[in-house]
Structure formats: C-alpha cells, structure tokens
Amino acid sequence: MPDRDALLTSLIPDLDRHRGDDLVVRSPIDGKELARLRADRPSEVDEKIGRAVFAFRTWRDVPAPRRGELVRRFGEQLRKHKESLATLVTLECGKIIEEGRGEVQEMIDICDFAVGLSRQLYGLTIASERPNHVMQENWLPLGPVAIISAFNFPVAVWSWNSALALVCGDPCLWKPSEKTPLTALACQRLFEDTASEFGVDGNGLSQVVLGTGEQGAMLVQDPRIPLVSATGSCRMGQAIAPIVAARFGRALLELGGNNAIIVTPSADLDVAVPSILFGSVGTAGQRCTSTRRVIAHRSIVDRLFATLSGAYRQIGASKVGDPLSPSTLVGPLIDQAAYEMMQTAIERIRPEALEIVGGDRALADTYPDAAYVHPCLVRLGANSKTLDDETFAPLTYVIPYDTLEEAIEIHNSVPQGLSSAIMTTDLREAEAFKRYSDCGIANVNIGTSGAEIGGAFGGEKETGGGRESGSDSWKAYMRRQTSTTFFGREKPALAQGITFDV
C-alpha cells in the first residue's frame, strides 16, 4: 500500500490550494477519505472560461507542429510519471493497477498520435467548375473546448480530447468526475510544468473546473465554448444535449453502452472465453465497453455457460480484492450506490433467470466501507426487456439464439449502440455481423472492450453519436471553411452558369 499522502503531495504539490468541504474524495479500495476539495464558484468558472478565450487568441496562431511539440513534451512527462499516476488512478477509481498503467499508457499513445497529427491537419483541394478558380477546405482552430469526464476513465478520456484539441489550436476546460478530481489535478500539474518549460501559460491552455454536474452545466450553457465533449451516462447526455443545441454549440457525446458478444456454433471457444471474461469482469464491469450480454447459439450455450461460470467462481474465490495487488483481477465498485444498483438489477432479473452465479458482496469483513462483489453471470432462457439498462457493474447475461438473424436482432434491440463483437470462424457470419451491428464498434474474435487509440471511438443511438481519439476524429475540434479563390484576369464566372451582366 503506497503512502497516500506522500503520493498526493508528490503529484499535486499545490493540493492545499484546492482544499475545501464541497467534494469528499474517497478511495473505493477501502472507502477512506483521500481529500476534501473546494468546488469552483460560478464567478470562478466564469473567470476560467474568460482565461481560455484569452489563451485561444494566441494559441490559434502558434503553428500546429509547434503546438504538437508541447503535446510531445507532455507525453514525455507522462512517461516519467507513469507509475505514480497509474497508482493514483487505481487509488481514486479502483481499477486494478495493470489497468491503471494501461490508462496512463493510453494517454502517452494519444499524445504520440496528436504529435503526428499536428503535421497532418490538412483539408482538400476541390475541382472548381469555373475556369481559373481554386476551391479548398481550410481547417481552423475552433475555440475553447469543455471536457466533461466520467469516473471510470478518469484521465485517458481527457487526454483523448485535450491532446487533439491542443494540436488543433483549442484551449481546454476540464470538469472531471466529482469522484475522481485528484487524478485531474495531478495531470493539470504535469501539464502546467510542461507548458512553463515550453514557455507558454499552461494555466490558460488547460484548466480544471472542480465540482459536480452543477459546474459542468455552467460550461454546457456558456456560448463562449463552441464544443462540449461530454463522457458519462445517457442521462447526463440527455440533459446537456438540448442545452448545447439551443445555443448552436457542438456536443461530442460519449455515453453509456450495453455491449454484446455473439458466440456462434463455429466460434473457437479458446478465443471467445478469455475475451468474454476480460470484457465482462475486467475493470469490475465499469467500462462503457464492458460486455453486458453474451448471445450464444443454442447448440453451444450449455458448454459456454459451464466454462464461463467455472471461471466466474474461480475469479470470485481468489481474484477479487485490493486493485493494487498484482494478483487481483477484479477491484472494487466505485461506491456503495454502484453496489446497490447492481443488486437492484439482479433482483429485477431473478424471476426470469435460469441460473445465477455470484453477485453477492465480497470481502465485507476486510473492507466494510468499500463495495467489492463476486462477478455475476446470469443465464436466461430468452431475451428480456429488462436488459435495456446499462448496469455499471460486473453483471453479464447469457441469452440463447437459434439463427444469426435472431442473434443480431437481440443484439440491436437495446437503446445504446457502443461496442459489439462476434465470435466466429465463418467469414459469412463475420461480414453479416459487421454490416448489421448497429454499434460504433463491431469486432470479430475480439471482445467489446479494450479499444486502441488509432480508431475513432464512440457509438450510435443513446451512446450519443460522438467519435473521439483516432482516425479523423480531430475534425470535431476544428471548424471547416470552404474557400474559393479566383486568380484569372477575365471577368469571373458565376457558379451554375448564371449570367448577371450589369
């Protein structure tokens, strides 16, 4: 167990500046208090937005590759502090240390991606229908970006947004989850140190707004912020989307998932089982991409359920525990409320369940103020409407199917559309699945969770439609301008052949 105070002081030397009584931050490992912080007052949020607007005026004119150099140096800082930052991630959100390291690695990876991108922010040159005209697309910095993040990826999702936004020329305002503000302060500290060595005011380019949904809402409402990138529950997305739309702002929404894996008769179970286990019990089921449903062909469902339930029992018996211990695979839930939500979901499905493995509280004697659970696997006889909600916990349903069409219909029947997978060795099934899965992510022989940063990440339907991270997601952080230039000496022609002779 690391010395918590020493870790906090080394990563956030100015922590005392943020102390107050508004936010009580507890470690899900044992429920003990890590710090009490002060939330930003409305006037302070207003001031921070003003500072971001001011920073934009100079940052947008810094050449993009130079902006990339700042992000490159920030990535170097992250490399240097990877282990301590990963430990703080684990301490504050409870994911196992291996995944804490993975989260910081994801930040490093997106910094590298953004550095390359800073030399590739190019638009098209488009054939003009008129002689001696050139038509082109210019991609220009957008303005301050609000980044609202969820507790379960307390730092990686911020970096997906901020690394791209910064190279695109946009300052960032980060409202982290009220459950994980310390990791945000630690990243901010590293960023400010990097920026000051680089010779810019980091405090204008990236700022943390501390608070709850109330402070988040202030960013959402403010017309000085052209882009609100919000990650969290569908409920949060439903609350903020109309507000951003009413002021003609842009919302980039990364909301809840209800992800499924279809396991076909041809599936290689040696490939399928580890993918299902990582997707369903990894991160204690607290990933937006966690596997919530396994839709298995009737011919293999008995065998699959027997294998999975054996693994669940084994994990429940020996792999649930302190996430800082290297032998732990399943850490705690974020808090007691998450535990209660999981229990409510289990009770709701119980009348329909053919068999339930796990689901009860674990380690209650050792950690009375924390919420550890034995991962829960529920076997069902048919699909059920009660599976529409995302339960943010290690709770997975196994549902049988007879035809692939039926499997895809069950798969697509939920309101969310984030991640999906099929386990098959049949090319036709794989291609049909990719065509008809209604999700933003559709994997073959890979589970639903654990995306790489190179692809665009996000989902459809109630998941919100946003795309972040790789591919051309950077376009969300810039404004597109179409520009036509006439360079001839003759009288310029009008488009569509219109004549307008005066």
Binding track over 408-447 against ligand NAD, x by CB under 6 A? ----------x-----------------------------
DSSP run (H or E) holding 409: helix 404-412
Residue showing the smallest CB distance to ligand NAD in the complex: 216
User: Rounded CA gap, 416 and 403, in Å?
Assistant: 22
Among 59, 74, 139, 151, binds ligand NAD (CB under 6 A): 151
Among 15, 62, 217, 446, binds ligand NAD (CB under 6 A): 217
Q: Do β-strands 206-208 and 227-231 pair in parallel, antiparallel, or remain unpaired?
A: unpaired
User: Rounded CA gap, 415 and 459, in Å?
Assistant: 11
Output the smallest distance, CB 428 to ligand NAD, in A.
Answer: 30
Among 68, 144, 181, 232, binds ligand NAD (CB under 6 A): 232
Size of the site for ligand NAD (CB under 6 A): 30
Provide the token pair at 165: 């936004």
- 292 phi and psi angles, rounded to 5 deg: -95, -30
The yes or no reply on residue 257 touching ligand NAD (CB under 6 A) is: yes
Output the smallest distance, CB 152 to ligand NAD, in A.
Answer: 5
Pure H helices in 33-96: 42-59, 64-80, 82-93
Provide the token pair at 491: 């009288």
Binding track over 154-193 against ligand NAD, x by CB under 6 A? ---x-----------------x-xx---------------
Catalytic residue of the set 288, 390, 429, 439: 288
Residue number, 134 or 217, with CB nearest to ligand NAD: 217
User: Rounded CA gap, 371 and 27, in Å?
Assistant: 11
The yes or no reply on residue 308 touching ligand NAD (CB under 6 A) is: no
Among 10, 105, 128, 233, binds ligand NAD (CB under 6 A): 233
Range 450-479, binding ligand NAD (CB under 6 A): 463
Strands (E), 307-434: 353-357, 361-362, 372-373, 376-380, 395-401, 416-417, 419-423
User: Would you say 104 and 85 are in contact if contact means Cβ atoms under 8 Å apart?
Assistant: yes
Range 282-301, binding ligand NAD (CB under 6 A): 288
The yes or no reply on residue 231 touching ligand NAD (CB under 6 A) is: yes
Output the smallest distance, CB 314 to ligand NAD, in A.
Answer: 27
Q: Which residue stretch of 11-19, 231-239, 294-302, 361-369 sits at the interface with ligand NAD (rule: CB under 6 A)?
A: 231-239
Q: Which residue stretch of 227-235, 320-328, 352-360, 395-403 sits at the interface with ligand NAD (rule: CB under 6 A)?
A: 227-235
Q: Mark residue 381 as left, alpha or beta (left: phi above 0; alpha: psi -120 to 50; beta: remaining).
A: alpha
Catalytic residue of the set 103, 106, 254, 390: 254
One-letter amino acid of 502: V
The yes or no reply on residue 220 touching ligand NAD (CB under 6 A) is: yes
The yes or no reply on residue 67 touching ligand NAD (CB under 6 A) is: no
User: Rounded CA gap, 20 and 36, in Å?
Assistant: 6
Known catalytic residue at 288: yes
Distances (CA, A) of 5 to 16, 35, 39, 145: 12, 9, 21, 32
The yes or no reply on residue 31 touching ligand NAD (CB under 6 A) is: no
User: Would you say 1 and 19 are in contact if contact means Cβ atoms under 8 Å apart?
Assistant: no
Dihedral angle sign, alpha carbons of residues 494, 496, 497, 502: negative
- Indicate the DSSP class of residue 62: S
Known catalytic residue at 172: no
For the annotated catalytic residues, the residue numbers are 254, 288
Residues near ligand NAD (CB under 6 A): 148-153, 157, 175, 177-178, 212-213, 216-217, 220, 231-233, 236, 239-240, 254-257, 288, 390, 392, 418, 463
